[in-house]
A and B are shown apart, each in its own frame.
Chain A
């Protein structure tokens, strides 16, 4: 507190800012909290170098330009890079028993003691340097270590949770054995073989549809329950002369620092959009830390982002070249540099609703409150998932189908699963985490191509909870069939990998997550790819047998044909109706009516599922990037 007026005084005395600018920054600090210097930079009153130069006077620690005089890399590597970033300092030189450090935070006694202990020195000299230079120094000096951490930390720390080792021997042997057995049966006894295949296909389809329908149908009941509960709480609070609605005591200055990760690869065409979209967030910029994660080889996007002159709270992090070159690896890299109490991922094309961070903070604070005062044994909330929907829903048929499907997923199914004890598979973006717990979970698995779904299940296995919030992130639906198939291949393959990872030790997984966890894993994670793999078989066989078995000369039992037809009708109807209702409320009838095409849309899924199975064998870690910005003309006002 004593230093705040000092930095202001220093800047004023050196003529770097005006009194008006200082007053404005102090007012902003009073309203939003945070450091005065940050407000001065955000308001454009001063540059970063000028600020830290002034701070060097205030701190009595000479300014050091780490770009011109880089730190001793070997020295930096001796310390945990994550701690250096967290603590805001780096070692610069070691002379005899004197360590010279560069800091971007006040050189407190605690910090100096920490440096002494870390390097076993008796004296520490302090220099002042901008925070960005600290990051840059760590990134350069610890490149290899950071690469290893981003790619393989989970594999080292929790190998049983990592997809790096692929399938276990029995996970390969059982499906292959069953497939061979079925093939032999079909050759030797075609009716029996076909009967088994058709029955299996129908069961898989039935299980998958029933699970999704159950979850979707549960949502209105759950919502009614929540409303009743809230009403009861409100009455009780009213009786006790309390405000009827509990609100976390969150003024702007109480809001925590929030880190936003924006992984982007070959997306120079839309990177400016996300910067603008995030600027629309209703959250104090002084509490925001946006990290744009760009791959080293992606020169175009790096160049475009730099040229876009992003605001002060946006930082560009160049992820070093390495394998696997996947989004989770980039996110893990970003996680290393994240300072926020909470962290969220947004894709480069995302447009989150402005109140989303507020909603997420509210959700986390409510969880803390409830665990503190109502149910100390409740599972800790580690992540809350915002709804994902599409801004280009009516661009073409495939985007409409995508919108119908996503609306069903995020507006009904996931909220329906909330508080059911069934683990929620997370969506690819807009999942808000507690940063510390995310690190403890091991971050994202770079070898799993649906790292999001995997993380949801891993959190459940660790006794943590995932919830949903109603705030929406508007995304761009993939509008081209080829790109859609590539994206869906990746997702379905990821589900296969996730299911495999979680069933390596099925009994252990059962013990950790309980019966419901197992249901979630089988009904959703394993059931989804299985149903898509078998759907065309069930559909075609049902259709053919219905039109006339004389086409194939197959004599299937009447009960199986009837069961198949009923199953197809039931399954398709359930999904069509529930998806139509949810998408009607989200997008209106023009989109909702496309739910009738779901049975055809699933054929496309099946194609992707078989492609995924093929890749699962050949290249399980291959990440097929989904191109964005395909609909640029749509966004520029030509929505035909």
Chain B
């Protein structure tokens, strides 16, 4: 056992050979174990389902095969499809879906992939064992990261695929020989393509990645044909993915840009927010940086940000604009994309320093954490390999001990009030609290349910709780069933045994999601006269059909 541990420990500092980066498997297993522990914690207290979007993602994945209208069209256009497609095999078993464990498994795999990619990027950069390990520790010791990776949110897949793409690029550029286009396409292009179909930050990475590949291949080999070939090789799969997405939108909705301008698109949501005057970062650079900065600060922690800041200075001074340095900066692409989106009003983030103050979309800051941990790793490596550190072993321990102490201190500070000190978790708590009434009603219906169809508008406010209810999706008439939903609204008694509605009338003023079922009940009470109210909370009601 000692020998085995010793070998694993030695592997973390072994020289790189070809594609092999010794130690990758070790950190992968560590990440899996840490991820499992986080999953056990969040599933036991149910916090993995606090984000209503997390429940929506789980539902989309399952309704592809479990619905009154199953099929790939259930992927919809609101979100990009890869996170849902990856979830599909993991939510086939109903308990894996209703408890959120399906997403936990995906999250664990994404955590392992993210950590492996970070480790490999660090190793390719030239960091030695201590710095590589601290890159891993910084990432795994972040509660916002750990929490998010236990949910069905899209960040885990996005970060894992983007880091996979950058790791592929770093492997390519640090190779001694001219690798083929196929190598780059497989090891960088495929993860980049997956990130393109995970979130729009991925599209930005393809842009910066292509520029980097073009410049780096020219810079290294001075061969214009090779540079063009490599750039195309990297970009061709992401481009095909984007093309597929456009084709899919055209095939299903008759509009190739449905995902951009459709009824549920981000642009439509932003327009509503903008018209309400709540999009304060739009055109305001100061507020944009402030809001995003606070989100990052409250997701990453001050300790990491300080270390990363110093690390960035070290990187600039020691490596300048070298190829290796630019690979590190490539991981900052999603952060730059988020800042630009905020400034252009394409997205909104709210936190305790924004106008107005609430918690909204702070998880976007998570994609900035990889570049921060890499920069902090560069600082550690700089200190570890400096003349000062090489003089005595004690100084090495001093660097390691101080860094560990800083990480522990940061986590202790977080632990004192995690629900307010981590923006990501604070947002989850807020989501959980605002949907408390809906959850109570859903929980009651799940317990009382003995069969029969359910009529429900799952897109209405706080109604995205289908996994929590735990009933098979082919029992539902909801918006995702299209015409069947309309038919059920017309003749509910011949379709549904149960009705689940959000009864908040202020939601009917078109300023937010409208519960179509409750609207129909108000507009056509005669159609629903055979239903009896069986459970009620201040915001939600459950009705059951009374057989005559």
Contacts and interface: CB of A to CB of B under 8 A. Distances in A.
A493 to B, nearest CB: 25
Interface in A393-411: 394, 396-398
A85 to B, nearest CB: 46
A551 B177 CA distance: 43
Best-buried of B19, B179, B180 by chain A (most CB within 10 Å): B180
Contacts of A397: 180, 182-183, 185-186
A240 interface: no
A639 interface: yes
Nearest to B184: A397
Interface in B289-336: none
Interface stretch (B5-13, B245-253, B421-429): B245-253
A550 interface: yes
Given A396-B179, A396-B180, A640-B179, A551 B185 contact: no
Nearest to A395: B180
Nearest to A479: B180
Contacts of B182: 396-398, 481
Interface in B65-94: none
A511 to B, nearest CB: 47
Contacts, number: 36
Contacts of A396: 179-180, 182-183
A548 interface: yes
A34 B467 CA distance: 81
Interface string B167-204: 00000000111011011011000000000000000000
A639 B248 CA distance: 41
Contacts of B185: 397
Interface in A447-495: 479, 481
Contacts of B180: 396-398, 479
A550 B176 contact: no
Contacts of A398: 180, 182
Contact of B176 (A547, A597, A640): A640
Contacts of B252: 548
B302 to A, nearest CB: 40
Contacts of B251: 547-548, 550-551
A481 B17 CA distance: 25
A569 interface: no
Contacts of B183: 396-397
A1 interface: no
B177 A633 contact: yes
B19 A394 contact: yes
Contacts of B247: 547
A116 B247 CA distance: 85
Nearest to A401: B182
B18 interface: yes
B186 to A, nearest CB: 5
A594 B179 CA distance: 17
A640 B21 CA distance: 12
A398 B19 CA distance: 16
Interface residues of A, number: 16
A638 interface: yes
Given A548-B252, A550-B251, A551-B251, A640 B186 contact: no
Contacts of A551: 251
Nearest to B185: A397
A638 B16 CA distance: 12
A597 B183 CA distance: 13
Interface in A549-608: 550-551, 594, 597
A479 B178 CA distance: 13
Nearest to B254: A550
Nearest to B16: A640
Interface in B242-301: 247-248, 250-252
A551 B252 CA distance: 11
A398 B185 CA distance: 12
A150 B194 CA distance: 55
Nearest to B175: A640
A323 B77 CA distance: 63
Best-buried of A397, A479, A481 by chain B (most CB within 10 Å): A397
Nearest to B252: A548
Given A397-B185, A548-B252, A551-B251, A639 B179 contact: no
A625 B250 CA distance: 46
Contacts of A394: 18-19
Nearest to B190: A597
A496 B247 CA distance: 38
Given A396-B182, A398-B182, A640 B177 contact: yes
A550 B252 CA distance: 10
A296 B131 CA distance: 61
Best-buried of A398, A638, A640 by chain B (most CB within 10 Å): A640
B255 to A, nearest CB: 13
A479 B17 CA distance: 20
A633 B175 CA distance: 12
Contacts of A481: 182
Contacts of A547: 247-248, 251
Contacts of B175: 640
B177 A638 contact: yes
B522 to A, nearest CB: 38
A396 B175 CA distance: 12
Nearest to A597: B186
B19 A640 contact: yes
Contacts of B179: 396, 640
A594 B186 CA distance: 10
B243 to A, nearest CB: 11
B172 to A, nearest CB: 9
A562 to B, nearest CB: 13
A398 B176 CA distance: 19
A639 B186 CA distance: 18
B18 to A, nearest CB: 4
Nearest to A394: B19
Contacts of B250: 548
Nearest to B244: A547
Interface string A606-640: 00000000000000000000000000010000111
Contacts of B248: 547
A633 B182 CA distance: 18
A597 B252 CA distance: 28
Nearest to A594: B186
A548 B247 CA distance: 9
A633 B18 CA distance: 12
Contacts of A594: 186
Nearest to A639: B18
Contacts of A597: 186
Contacts of A479: 180
A4 B362 CA distance: 94
A481 B19 CA distance: 21
B357 to A, nearest CB: 45
A481 B176 CA distance: 21
A479 B176 CA distance: 17
B176 A638 contact: yes
A396 B18 CA distance: 12
Nearest to A480: B180
Contacts of B18: 394, 639-640
A597 B186 CA distance: 10
A396 B177 CA distance: 11
A430 B252 CA distance: 54
A600 to B, nearest CB: 10
B178 to A, nearest CB: 9
A323 B175 CA distance: 44
Contacts of A550: 251
Contacts of B186: 397, 594, 597
6 contacts: A396-B183, A397-B182, A397-B185, A548-B251, A548-B252, A638-B177
Query: Which 9 A-B pairs rank lowest in CB-CB distance, beginning with the nearest?
Result: A397-B182, A548-B251, A640-B175, A396-B180, A639-B18, A640-B176, A640-B177, A547-B251, A640-B18
Interface of B: 17-19, 175-177, 179-180, 182-183, 185-186, 247-248, 250-252
Given A397-B185, A548-B252, A633-B177, 5 more contacts: A481-B182, A547-B251, A551-B251, A639-B18, A640-B175
